Amino acid sequence: MATSVTYKCGMCGGPCHVEVGATVFECDYCGTQQPVPKLDDERRANMYDRANHFRRNNEFDKAMGIYEQILNEDITDSVAYWSLVLCRYGIVYVEDPASHKRIPTVNRAQFTSIFDDDNYRSALQYADSYQRMVYEEEAKTINEIQKGILAISQNEEPFDVFICYKESDSYGRRTPDSVLAQDLYYQLTNEGFKVFFARITLEDKLGSAYEPYIFAALNSAKVMVALGTSPDYFKAVWVKNEWSRFLSLIKQGQKKILIPAYKDMDPYDLPDEFSHLQAQDMSKLGFMQDLIRGIKKMLQVEAVPATTIIKETVVPGSPVGGVNTAPLLKRVFMFLEDGEWASANEYCEKVLDIDPECAEAYLGKLMAELRIKTREALKDCAEPFDDRNNYQKVLRFADDELKAMLTGCTEYIEERHREASYLRANMAMQEASIEAAYKAVAQMFKSLGDYKNSRSLSKECYAKAETARLDRIYNDAKNAMKSGAYKEAQKIFEEICAYRDSAELAKQCKNAIQRLAKKTAQRRKLHRLFVAGVFSCILLFVFFIGTDGRVFLTPSMYRQAEELFDSGKYEEAGAILMDLNNRYKDVVQLKYEIAKFTKESNSKLAYSLLITIPEYENSWFLANELYRKHSNKW
Report the C-alpha gap between 414 and 512 in whole angstroms.
62
Cα distances (angstroms) measured from residue 288 to each of 304, 448, 563: 17, 34, 89
Q: Note the pLDDT of residue 568.
A: 82
Region of residue 452 (left: phi > 0; alpha: psi -120 to 50; beta: else): left
Chain mean pLDDT for the chain: 84
pLDDT for 195 beyond 90: yes
Tell me the H-state helices in 300-358: 326-337, 341-354
Q: For residues 582, 587, 590 and 591, what is the CA-based torsion angle, rounded to 10 degrees? A: -20
Beta bridge partners of 17: 6
| CB within 8 Å of 274: residues ≥ 6 apart | 226, 258, 260
For residue 163, the surrounding DSSP H or E stretch is strand 161-164
DSSP class of residue 268 equals G
pLDDT for 551 beyond 50: no
Report the C-alpha gap between 77 and 126 in whole angstroms.
7
Cβ burial 311-323 (10 Å sphere, 16+ → b, else e): eeeebebeeeeee
Is the CB of residue 211 less than 8 Å from the CB of residue 107?
yes
Closest CA to 60 of 82, 99, 38, 91: 91
Average pLDDT, integer, range 616-624 = 85
Instruction: Indicate the range of 91-100, 104-113, 294-303 predicted with least confidence.
Output: 294-303
Is the CB of residue 39 less than 8 Å from the CB of residue 17?
no
In the chain, what are the helix, strand and coil shares in percent, each to the nearest 5?
A: 60, 10, 30
Report the C-alpha gap between 168 and 513 in whole angstroms.
51
Average pLDDT, integer, range 186-194 = 88
Cβ burial 452-481 (10 Å sphere, 16+ → b, else e): eebeebbebbbebbebbbbbebbeebbebb
Instruction: Indicate the range of 128-132, 430-434, 453-457, 576-580 predicted with least confidence.
Output: 576-580
307 confidence band (pLDDT: 50, 70, 90): very low
Question: Over pLDDT 90: what percentage of the chain?
Answer: 30
Output the DSSP codes for 216-244. HHHHH-SEEEEEESSHHHHTSHHHHHHHH
Average pLDDT, integer, range 338-348 = 92
Is the CB of residue 138 less than 8 Å from the CB of residue 146?
no
pLDDT for 135 beyond 80: yes
Output the DSSP codes for 124-149. HHH--HHHHHHHHHHHHHHHHHHHHH
Tell me the domain boundaries of the chain: 4-149, 161-299, 326-416, 517-633
533 confidence band (pLDDT: 50, 70, 90): low
pLDDT for 2 beyond 60: no
Is the CB of residue 574 less than 8 Å from the CB of residue 609?
yes
What CATH number should be reported for the domain whose range is 161-299?
3.40.50.10140
Cα distances (angstroms) measured from residue 321 to each of 325, 350, 354: 11, 14, 8
Which pTM value belongs to this model? 0.44
Give the distance, in angstroms, between the CA of residue 271 and the centroid of all CA atoms in the same chain: 23
Q: Note the pLDDT of residue 322.
A: 38
429-471, pLDDT tens digit by residue? 888 888 888 898 898 889 888 888 889 999 999 999 999 999 9
413 confidence band (pLDDT: 50, 70, 90): confident
Report the C-alpha gap between 208 and 93 in whole angstroms.
17
| CB within 8 Å of 431: residues ≥ 6 apart | 437
Report the C-alpha gap between 364 and 333 in whole angstroms.
7
Report the C-alpha gap between 477 and 496 in whole angstroms.
10
